[in-house]
Amino acid sequence: MLKFGRHPETVRAEYSAKVNKERERRWATGTDIQIPGYGWVKMQGGPEDRALISGLAQAAETSIRLGIDQPFYFTDRGNMTHLLTPNQMIMTFLLGQQYLSDVHFAAVVLKARPYMVDDIASDAVWPDVIQV
């Protein structure tokens, strides 16, 4: 007897693509992080944003090594400009990276489960705001 329908591997591949798309959306949208000794910063994580924050963190590390206590300007996704110490700039980078990593790990877990989540965009299945 012939069986018709969608091959399970096709269904799983489409589900994985949906998870990846939601992961990318969440990275681009970003999160709010609390910088110790400073306050809240509204991060976003598109490719350009990640490159910028990485460069600023490298510059902050270099300034610390050279003994230069130069503040760094960082404009967040709410268009608020923050004046951060080198250590705060590095912490901003580290917490932003932690969020990206948490979202990535959540996507891996979602794809590895034996069942598929109906509402992949539900906040209940993704990491929340990072607070230190």
Identify the domain containing residue 24 by its residue range.
Answer: 8-30+42-115
Distance separating alpha carbons of residues 48 and 41, to the nearest angstrom: 17
46: in domain: yes
Residue 87 lies in a domain: yes
In the predicted structure, residue 6 carries a pLDDT above the cut 90: no
pLDDT digits (tens, 9 = 90+) for 9-68: 888 899 999 999 999 999 999 899 999 999 999 999 889 999 999 999 999 999 999 999
pLDDT score of 2 more than 70: no
| pLDDT mean over 109-127 | 88
Q: Examine residue 13 and state whether it is found in any structural domain, yes or no.
A: yes
Predicted pLDDT at 53: 95
**Looking at the domain assignment, is residue 47 inside a domain?**
yes
> Could you tell me the pLDDT band of residue 132, with boundaries at 50, 70 and 90?
very low
Q: What ranges make up the beta strands (E) of the chain?
A: 31-35, 39-43, 72-75, 81-84
Domain count, the chain: 1
Is 128 within a domain?
no
For residue 81, being part of any structural domain is answered with: yes
